[in-house]
Amino acid sequence: MRYSIPIFWRNKYSYYRLELTKCKKCGKVAFFRRSICPYCRSREVEVITSKGIGKVVTYTVSYFRGSTNLESYPRIIALIELSEGVKVIGELSDVKLEDIKEGMEVEAVLRRYSSDDPYGLIYYGIKFIPRVKK
């Protein structure tokens, strides 16, 4: 068993939903569920869930390999600005390399982050795909 159960499970809402922490004192919003504002250290914070829509600010095609989940390379890592005005770092999926453009609209979806194959846990979490047109 290479993957921890509680490390992932206790954060599952942040992984399964795009959670942001809004500081009641300084007003800033930061990616991920937190109990303390990383900007002003206030503990008066509230957790909100993002609508999940954003734009790619910049991205890279990463060939930096670990030793597992080799079917996932290369990975597309992108800095994304959400419609709420806050930036997140995440992975893009459902794209061919030639189709990625800075500024493209993306939406948050649940995907596999990785899996402790063949018998261990699957870690699920939010990644981003080109916005699905209605």
Partner 1 sequence: MVTLFELREGVGIVGWGVYIPIWRVRAVEIAKMWGFSEELTRSLWIEEKAVASEDEDTVTMGWYAAKVAIERGGIDPNHIGAIFVGTESKPYAVKPSATIIADALMDSNIKSASDIEFACRAGGEGIRNSIALVASGMTKYALVIGSDTAQANPGDVLELTASSGAAAYVIGPAQESVAVFEGSTVYVTDTPDFWRRDGSPYPQHGEIFTGEPAYFHHIVSAAKLLFKELGLKPSDFDYAVFHQPNGKFPLQVGRMLGFPKEKILPGIVTPWIGNTYNGSSLIGLAKVLEEAKPGSRILVVTFGSGAGSDAFSIIVKEGIEERVKRGPKVIDFLKRKKYVSYGEYAKNRRIITRIR
Partner 2 sequence: MRNVYIVSASMIKVDRYFNKSYKELVLDALTKILDEGSVEHIDYTVVSTLLSDSILHQLDLSTVLTQHLGLNPIPSLRVETGESSGLTAIELGYSLIASGKADSVLVVGVEKLTEYPTNIINENYSKILDYEIETIRNISPPDYAALIMKEYMKRYRIKREELTIWPIKMHDNASRNPYAQLRFRVDRDKVLNSITIAEPIKLLDAFPVGDGSAIILLGSERTLRRSNSECMKVTYITSSTSQPIYLRDDILEFTALRKTFKTLQEGSRLDLEEALLEIHDSYSIYAYLILEELGIAPRGKAPNTVDKLNNVNLSGGLKARGHPFGATGIYQVAEAYSILSDRGLGELKYNGKYGLIHSMSGPDYNSRLCLIEKVM
Q: Which of 46, 85, 96, 103 binds partner 1 (CB under 8 A)?
A: 96
Q: How many residues does the chain have?
A: 134
Tokens of 40: 């002003």
Q: How far is the CB of 94 from partner 2 (least distance, A)?
A: 15
Hey, what amino acid is at 71?
A: E
Tokens of 80: 């994304």
Is 33 one of the binding residues for partner 1 (CB under 8 A)?
Answer: no
The entry of partner 1, partner 2, none that residue 19 binds, CB within 5 to 8 Å by partner kind: none
For 125, counting Cβ atoms within 10 Å of its Cβ (0-12 exposed, 13-18 middle, 19+ buried), the class is buried
Is 112 one of the binding residues for partner 1 (CB under 8 A)?
Answer: yes
Q: How far is the CB of 40 from partner 1 (least distance, A)?
A: 28
The entry of partner 2, partner 1, none that residue 16 binds, CB within 5 to 8 Å by partner kind: partner 1
Tokens of 66: 């670990």
Is 115 one of the binding residues for partner 2 (CB under 8 A)?
Answer: no
Q: Which of 1, 46, 97, 133 binds partner 1 (CB under 8 A)?
A: 133
Which residues fall within 8 angstroms of residue 79, CB to CB, at 6 or more apart? 56, 57, 58, 59, 87, 88, 89
The entry of partner 2, partner 1, none that residue 133 binds, CB within 5 to 8 Å by partner kind: partner 1
Is 111 one of the binding residues for partner 1 (CB under 8 A)?
Answer: yes
Strands (E), 36-104: 45-49, 53-62, 75-82, 87-92
Is 109 one of the binding residues for partner 2 (CB under 8 A)?
Answer: no
